[in-house]
Amino acid sequence: MTGEWLRQRLAALNERVLEATNGSVHLEEHIALPAYGQIVARFQTDSALSLKEVEALERQLQGLAGDEFLVDFMGSVYRQLGVEYSRLDEINERLGQRFKEEPIRKGPYGSQIETDAQTLLKQSGISLNTPVWEIQWEDGEYGLLLLGHRSRAIRSIASQPPIHVFEVNKVPCEGLMRATFAARRLGVSLCRLMLEAMEE
């Protein structure tokens, strides 16, 4: 499974970010999205930020990450700016409609995380053709989120480490990805696009 080399690349990015922001912004987690060939580096700050400040920082973070990773802030930063996470699927579906022509590009580590997804699918007894939205790693256990039609738990595998398999709705997931790339192209925060979608 993808491991030490990725930790080293993320640690190097975090060092660049800490230096560039005088320690005010730091890497909190990363998320592998195999079906779309991308890894998201998610950042956190203890500062209360305006939307314009978030946008400026996200542009700076993306500049430091280049095409290696997608970047954004943790949900708590977006939440304090007004994003209603209870409406997240609705928001992302609206974004998917708005940016339905926006291309989704794979990152440089796409093939590695696709291989990871294949390994976990095989261990879980699931068809290797099943698209994987997200691979999570928390408290020594894998979460394997499959793209489908609804949100539900599918099964848990008592392997070492354990694997918990879930299904999520593909439509809002793809909307989120298209909006992420649209935000980069437009030079705005994904948060701004989410807030706009809430008002539609």
Angle made by CA atoms 44, 27, 179, in degrees to the nearest 5: 70
Query: Model confidence over 106-133: pLDDT tens digits?
Result: 999 999 999 999 999 999 999 999 999 9
CB neighbour list of residue 125: distance below 8 Å, 6 or more residues apart:
157
Bridge partners for 39 per DSSP: 32
State both tokens at 1. 């499974």
* Phi, psi values for residue 87, rounded to 5°: -110, 20
Integer angstrom CA distances of residue 148 from 12, 54, 187: 35, 32, 31
Give the largest Cα separation in the chain, rounded.
47
Confidence (pTM): 0.92
Query: Model confidence over 138-195: pLDDT tens digits?
Result: 899 999 999 999 999 999 999 999 999 999 999 999 999 999 999 999 999 999 999 9
pLDDT score at 137: 87
CB neighbour list of residue 198: distance below 8 Å, 6 or more residues apart:
82, 83, 84, 87, 91
Is it the case that residue 60 has pLDDT exceeding 90?
yes
pLDDT score at 2: 66
Is it the case that residue 63 has pLDDT exceeding 80?
yes
Is it the case that residue 50 has pLDDT exceeding 90?
yes
pLDDT score at 3: 73
d(CA 127, CA 130): 6
User: H-type helices in 81-136, by residue range?
Assistant: 88-98, 110-124
Query: Cβ atoms within 10 A of the Cβ of 84, count?
Result: 13
